[in-house]
Structure 1
Amino acid sequence: MKERHMLRALVVTASLLLSSLAVAVEYINIKPLNQVVSAQVGPVEGDVLQVPFISWGGDIAVIHANGNNLSTQANSIVSQQGLKLKLTREDDFAKQVQHYLKGDSPFLRGTIGMLNMAMDVISKDAKTKPIVIYKLTDSAGGDALVVKSGIKTVKDLRGKTVVLQAYGPHVDYLSRILADAGLTFKDINVRWVKDLTGTDNSPMAALYEKDIDAAFVIIPDALALTSGGSVGTGAEDSVKGAKILLSTKTADTVIADVYAVRSDFFKQHRDVVEKFARSLLLGQESMSNVVQQRTADSKAYEQMMRAAAKGLLDSEQALADAEGMYQDARHVGYDGNVKFFKNNAYPRRFAVIVKESQHGLHQVGLLQQQQEVAQARWDYDKLKKGLSQINVAEVPKFDESKVAALVTQKQQQGSLDQGELFSFEVFFKPNQKTFSAELYEDAFKKVMDLASTYGGAIITIEGHSDPMNYLRKRKANASRMVLGRIKQAARNLSLSRAQEVRDNIIDFSKNKGVSLDPSQFAVIGHGISAPKTGVCGADPCVPKTEKQWRSNMRVQFRILQVEAESSVFRPL
């Protein structure tokens, strides 16, 4: 895999050259990795373990744990665990797989999706079947889907041509959002390119071509294409009308970065692998402390970031880029690993993401058959030895008062559908006031899943009321005052229903062991102002059938992207 990040200056320079020279992009016919990688399975030998890493912010913790160096330093976290490592950056995943099979390294480093792409080849021999041992990060802002004008929601991708890097980190990303929009890979045209960034064979370069509608890119490329994250003007290196439809700042658990190890090595050296996993935990915690204390101890912070810049970007001077890479990743640490591997109710747990990923890869022909991927099943009480940051309270991501103000403004302007990613509805009976988990468990689970997947989005819960009482009174020539009171009562009732649903969803999730962020939810009471049966003039249309009548009694869930509203979204 090519870098998910690189020097911003190089990205801009490359993109300017691309736009000025108009070099044709070379698309490739992607093949399953078992048709690309051919290597004999060999034993893992030597006292110094070769460990791959990739150009991603999560790998700063790996370099830091090794003593801010690619070779294990004395008194480093890794050294204190009794290990000697040689860190090797390998962004070409196919080459990583070759080294893994040959025995050059017992480890694989990539996303769950990348690991699944290799399953057909690395599972042929029982010795090289992977065991996932650690989750490093979620992408929380580093990756984005950029679309051209005319594409307003994910559903609008139907029939469009989308470009992404072959064997890269974005296949899972595309697969998940298509599924949430009710689409599959059969509904779009996919084109593959060799590189992720910085060349004329990257998704960014492809978006300049007229017949390409959308591209998955790293965030520096996304900002360049969209004139700084707004709408592309066509000037400099932007594409006119291009915008970020969805980034991992919103879809912040779709890309999970992990380490896996060969089965034979795990069986023979379980203690060594466990020490490596503990080194990663300690390294992430130490890295976090260095960042938090950078004002008090700037020397330690600069030393860590210079080492990261050199390791990830080949230049100690690329400090700003290293810092950006750090911020674009959410380092999950101990709590995140326990939730990912052990919480069977967590919607974004290991088994779910593996299955989700394999389903998409099978659709697109990159995986022959879905199969189980093993995990280490650590004793986390034992693994947490030496850690202090455990059971850390989660901080609300949104400013609730500003969320409420934004949603109210959108409601008044009739623009709630702007920024909508997905939506769905549940229906209730006449005069129903309670919404129990027993009746709405499937819907509650869906909301819990969407909230966990799109943690950077606002979820509106919008109540709608039956307009029949109002229509009857209007037919009976009731006064404006009476009709106004009925409308207000309907708004109040629909708001209370929405609030009831919100509270029950949060309680339902809590009982399942999943903590949702209350600040992510906004409740709205539409009353009878937006009936399913439509508006005729200034009033609701009269339902003509019982089905139409019942269709107005509903609660709508809407997932809204609000990344552009910087005052609403609180960066992690």
Structure 2
Amino acid sequence: MMRPRISQFVFICLALCCSAAQAVQYVDAPPLAKTINEPVADVKAADVIRVPLITWGGDEATILANGNAAKTAPNSIFAKKGLKLTLVREDDFKKQVEAYLSGETPYLRGTLGMVNMAAEVLARDPRTAPVIIYQLTWSNGGDCLVVKPGIKTAKDLKGKTVALQAYGPHVDYLAKVLADAGLSMSDVSIKWVKDLTGTQETPAEAFHDADVDAALMIIPDGQALTSGGKVGTGAEGSVKDAEIMLSSKTANRVIADVYAVRSDYFKVHRSEVEKFVNGLMQGEEQLSALFKDKASRMKDYTETIKASAQLLFDSPAATADAESLYADCEFVGFAGNVKFFTDANYPRNFSNLKEQIQSALVKIDLLAKKAPLTAAGFDYSVLKEGLTNVVGVAVPKFDTAQVAGVIQRKQQQDTLNQGELFSFEVFFQPNQNQFSADLYADAFSKVIELASTYGGAVITIEGHSDPMGYLKAKKQNATEMSLGQIKQAAKNLSLSRANAVRTGITEFASSKGVVLDESQFAVVGHGIAKPKTGICGGDPCPPKTEQEWRDNMRVEFRIIQLEAESSVFKSL
């Protein structure tokens, strides 16, 4: 059910056989509550507790904490806490749920979206009501939305057919993208497939069908369909003119990977669960240190990567795949868990994501109604024991100079709409230069939400000016020099307004306790160059009504994907 990375050799072979593949067999996706009837039993008493893994980079920290072994190794992080675990990879989420209900394991491992899909069936019995105990990672590059020609922005998905794995990690991904474009799941037609990758029943295979317009999939499949992540040529299994519209490198705060535990087990074994979570945090710190310092710690690094390859890919030789998994995720660590579970102001916190996900699932009948899903409510002052990094440090994600250069080039070439994911506008009054939160709170809140969700996107704040002063001066036969000065003054004013809006957003966010990455924002002053009324003979077309006149007095927000512009990202 998860999104494993597969080796380049394997996905090329899969791509080459696409043309010979039989037609995809689409499936129904009724609520899990209608498909899972496993009787609930108490957690089986055992000296060794079974803990599920999935094929994802976040689980490599769990493997390290267990001593790079399926069974807890002596002197490992978990062993030192008195834990005895057996790690079992189970990528079929439905089977995980069945094992959880039957008491084979008290733990559940998946994305927050997947756990929410199961929330209704898990809540049938108070013993199995899930408690979310830990966030491992955010997906940061491992998942993508591939589209066919004609789909340039998220709004263009309206009325389209999207292929999606049933009960997989991308259901809430699609729901969030649509919601941010002002759409809902009912605005698209969904074709469900059984598997995520590696078979003939996947979104990547479905994308070859003429009546499928878009599909969500893991990044290697997306790269195969788009000739290496560029534009599909139609050769070697790619689809002609297909492109990756959006990946989780840009939408890096959508897919959250978590662990949940049964309520009955948590009540009786809370101390043990806290030790497990603390061990996961220590494992994450040690794994991050290994990747950072692998040159000087090659022996330890190799041992961990081989163990991860064995447990996640059934082969110790699949080290490249294990390394790719790590690269596709972003560990949140102690500080990230505190933020996710306790910061009420954080737009992408547990409570907000749960509400968004369940609302979307109810709309497409994957949930009959919203179901209980609670957080553990840990005392994090206890859980920080043994950790070295308990303070999250916000690091600017973008090189501001490089971003400014890219945006300037796009402005000169009139290509700012290329890579656009979302856009919306706010309007101002004549001679207005201040943009206070009391007038623009809704717009500012939307910007903060988008900035928090699409942390890998650049947000442009583009000011526009009223062209009437220029048009009146030209009608009065003003000199070219005078007209040029009016244009420049309008451009300067529009830039000043864009800067005032950025300041207003930053101050509004600060008042809400939200810290924005200011390197993510770029201001643009268009002046009178892009009026709503259009261009007539090289000049702005005169407004015919008061409304057309007022519509030119606007600031536009544009969320732009710049993944192809690798220079804009600061190296970590």
Please, what TM-score do these two structures have when normalized by structure 2?
0.98
Q: In structure 2, give the amino acid aligned to 1:335.
A: A
Shift in Å, 1:571: 5.6
Q: Which residue of 2 aligns with 1:95?
A: 95
Matched ranges for 1:158-557 at <5 A: 158-557=158-557
Equivalents in 1 of 2:111, 2:40: separation in Å? 23
Q: Is 1:2–1:195's contact at 8 Å kept on the other side of the alignment?
A: no
Matched ranges for 1:137-152 at <5 A: 137-152=137-152
C-alpha distance after superposition, 1:497-544 (max 9, x if no partner): 111211221232233222211111110000111112222222212222
Q: Is 1:195–1:202's contact at 8 Å kept on the other side of the alignment?
A: yes
SS in 1 for 2:16: helix
Equivalents in 2 of 1:128, 1:415: separation in Å? 53
C-alpha distance after superposition, 1:316-372 (max 9, x if no partner): 111111111001000000111111111111110101111111111111111010134
Matched ranges for 1:96-111 at <5 A: 96-111=96-111
Q: Which residue of 1 aligns with 2:112?
A: 112
SS in 2 for 1:306: helix
Shift in Å, 1:490: 0.8
Shift in Å, 1:551: 1.0
Shift in Å, 1:438: 2.2
Q: Is 2:129–2:372's contact at 8 Å kept on the other side of the alignment?
A: no
| 1:36 to 2:23 alignment | no
150-159 or 119-128, which moves further after superposition? 150-159
How big is the alpha-carbon RMSD for the aligned residues of Structure 1 and Structure 2?
Answer: 1.2
Equivalents in 1 of 2:526, 2:7: separation in Å? 48
Shift in Å, 1:392: 3.5
Q: Is 1:138–1:255's contact at 8 Å kept on the other side of the alignment?
A: yes
The structure-2 alpha-carbon separation of the partners of 1:39 and 1:571, relative to structure 1 and needing over 3 Å to count, comes to farther
Q: In structure 2, give the amino acid aligned to 1:37.
A: I
Q: Is 1:15–1:198's contact at 8 Å kept on the other side of the alignment?
A: no
Q: In structure 1, give the amino acid aligned to 2:377.
A: R
SS in 1 for 2:566: coil
Q: Is 2:89–2:312's contact at 8 Å kept on the other side of the alignment?
A: yes
Q: Is 1:457–1:562's contact at 8 Å kept on the other side of the alignment?
A: yes
% identical equivalent positions: 57
| 1:561 to 2:561 alignment | yes
Equivalents in 1 of 2:331, 2:339: separation in Å? 13
C-alpha distance after superposition, 1:275-301 (max 9, x if no partner): 111111111111111111101111111
181-190 or 519-528, which moves further after superposition? 181-190
Shift in Å, 1:38: 1.5
SS in 1 for 2:359: helix
C-alpha distance after superposition, 1:435-460 (max 9, x if no partner): 12222111111111000100111100
What number of residue pairs does the alignment pair up?
571
C-alpha distance after superposition, 1:383-416 (max 9, x if no partner): 1111111224222211111111111111111111
Shift in Å, 1:491: 0.6
SS in 2 for 1:192: strand
C-alpha distance after superposition, 1:200-253 (max 9, x if no partner): 011111112222111111011111111111001111121111110100000001
Equivalents in 2 of 1:257, 1:465: separation in Å? 45
Equivalents in 2 of 1:558, 1:571: separation in Å? 24
149-158 or 445-454, which moves further after superposition? 149-158
Equivalents in 2 of 1:321, 1:38: separation in Å? 36
SS in 1 for 2:18: helix
Equivalents in 2 of 1:372, 1:432: separation in Å? 47
SS in 1 for 2:317: coil
Equivalents in 1 of 2:186, 2:25: separation in Å? 22
Q: Is 1:114–1:167's contact at 8 Å kept on the other side of the alignment?
A: yes
Q: Is 1:224–1:238's contact at 8 Å kept on the other side of the alignment?
A: yes
Shift in Å, 1:6: 3.0
Shift in Å, 1:11: 2.3
Shift in Å, 1:2: 4.7
SS in 2 for 1:253: coil
Q: Which residue of 2 aligns with 1:130?
A: 130
SS in 1 for 2:568: coil
Equivalents in 2 of 1:411, 1:3: separation in Å? 37
SS in 2 for 1:126: coil
SS in 1 for 2:127: helix
| 1:10 to 2:10 alignment | yes
Q: Which residue of 1 aligns with 2:22?
A: 23
Q: Is 1:166–1:192's contact at 8 Å kept on the other side of the alignment?
A: yes
Q: Is 2:120–2:371's contact at 8 Å kept on the other side of the alignment?
A: no
Equivalents in 2 of 1:103, 1:299: separation in Å? 38
Q: In structure 1, give the amino acid aligned to 2:442.
A: D
SS in 2 for 1:542: coil
Equivalents in 2 of 1:525, 1:315: separation in Å? 55
Q: In structure 1, give the amino acid aligned to 2:41.
A: G
Equivalents in 2 of 1:368, 1:5: separation in Å? 33
Equivalents in 2 of 1:131, 1:180: separation in Å? 28
Specify every segment of 5 or more residues in structure 2 that has no aligned partner in the other structure, as ranges.
Answer: none
Q: Is 2:26–2:201's contact at 8 Å kept on the other side of the alignment?
A: yes
Equivalents in 1 of 2:287, 2:511: separation in Å? 33
Shift in Å, 1:3: 4.2
Equivalents in 2 of 1:397, 1:113: separation in Å? 26
Q: In structure 2, give the amino acid aligned to 1:495.
A: L
C-alpha distance after superposition, 1:115-155 (max 9, x if no partner): 11111111011111001000000000000011112211112
Q: In structure 1, give the amino acid aligned to 2:27.
A: I
Equivalents in 2 of 1:4, 1:33: separation in Å? 23
Q: In structure 2, give the amino acid aligned to 1:9.
A: F
278-287 or 1-10, which moves further after superposition? 1-10
Equivalents in 2 of 1:179, 1:258: separation in Å? 23
Shift in Å, 1:4: 3.1
SS in 2 for 1:131: strand
Shift in Å, 1:10: 2.2
Q: Is 1:11–1:197's contact at 8 Å kept on the other side of the alignment?
A: no
